Amino acid sequence: MIPSEAVLLVVDDNEDNRYTLTRRLKREGYTNLTTANDGREALELLRSKKFDLLLLDIMMPEMNGYEVLEHLKADAELRHLPVIMISAVGEVDSVVRCIELGAEDYLPKPFDATLLRARVGASLEKKALRDEVRDWNKKLEARVQDQVAQLGRLGRLKTFFSPQLAESIVNGGGEDLLKTHRREVVVVFLDLRGFTAFTDSAEPEEVMAVLGEYHRVMGQLILSHEGTLEHFAGDGILIFFNDPIQLEKPIENAITMALEMQQHFAPLRAAWKKRGFDLDLGIGIAQGYATLGAVGFEGRWEYACIGSVANLASRLCSEAKGGEILINQKTLSRIEDAVEAEPLGKVALKGIAQPVETFKITALKS
């Protein structure tokens, strides 16, 4: 610390000692000096003004140096203030006691200029380092609190949005993604064959258990292939790719996910069959432009994909038999070199005016 910037308090009941010490401190460049006649006056000054160093006499009337030190260490605002004790030559035992009470160092009387310069300078340097560490600790604590808040916010957002979108929002770049916009996406729709008959005959607890197993397996695959879950209603699940996070090859992500879903569904189907539940999985895939953005109300938002492409994927899914993945010709043309597909001809889909040239995806080409 630069001497001229340091604020020092000199406390001694002897006027000659105060004068001698302050004169020598000024010669060393310490110009911002305050003096006190006794311990009580010193404490009043310390509580009204900020000091960088206290030079404190031990033997004083009314309140001695020990008592001042005890008050300082009991005060959360003052306990970090460095204290140099002023002692006579024969007061070594008293100095030791002051050090034990928390004093930084001591200066013997009569004052030696070299020793004064060294001990005052060292005490101020230590204070500057301690202040810097405290500042860093405060900043670190604030950052930790902020990160904990962000993690909490991220956890809440992941309840409603995909992890990619939730992290974008928390990191400060996701608000724009929630605004209504138009983009080309790949939509995948899946639901269970035989689910309506199953719910009519099964107990509600059995339905909930089946849905839990189904959602858990499908959900892990959605996340691993960077899909965005738009919604799931019972057995129906709608996923889209290329928004809000843009992907290099969204159609490949979608088809790879769909094939893995059929593969991972097989053990579920077999286990349910043993329990008397006849269920299977159909999937539809379509690519096209859609309007996307947040819909809902304060406290409950969903990220929606609206457009004919979502309707087409849903209709293809409805047409798919158990174990099938259906795709329209336009979407297949984007990836036909990478997949094996069987033509099904033109298929009339509910709600779509013209029959749709439809194919069944069977595998990825090696």
pLDDT tens string 142-170: 777 776 666 555 555 555 455 666 666 66
Query: Which pLDDT score is estimated for 145?
Result: 76
Listed in sequence order, the residues at least 6 apart from 78 whose beta carbon sits closer than 8 Å to its beta carbon are: 46, 47, 71, 72
pLDDT at position 290 over 70: yes
Give percent of the chain above pLDDT 90.
51
**Residue 177: pLDDT band with limits 50, 70, 90:** low
pLDDT at position 207 over 80: yes
pTM: 0.58
> Would you call 259 helix, strand, or coil by DSSP?
helix
> Would you call 288 helix, strand, or coil by DSSP?
strand
Gap between the Cα atoms of 308 and 305, Å rounded: 10
C-alpha angle with apex 274: 202 to 224, nearest 5 degrees? 85
Dihedral (Cα; 131, 136, 142, 147), 10-degree rounding: -170
H-run or E-run covering 104? none
Model confidence pLDDT, tens digit, residues 55-99: 999 888 888 888 999 999 888 888 889 999 887 756 677 778 888
Structural domains in the chain, sorted by start: 3-136 (3.40.50.2300), 174-364 (3.30.70.1230)
Gap between the Cα atoms of 247 and 186, Å rounded: 11
The Cβ of residue 353 has, within 10 Å, a number of other Cβ atoms equal to 6
Model confidence pLDDT, tens digit, residues 269-287: 999 999 999 999 999 999 9
**Structure-model confidence comparison of residues 193 and 58, the more confident one:** 193
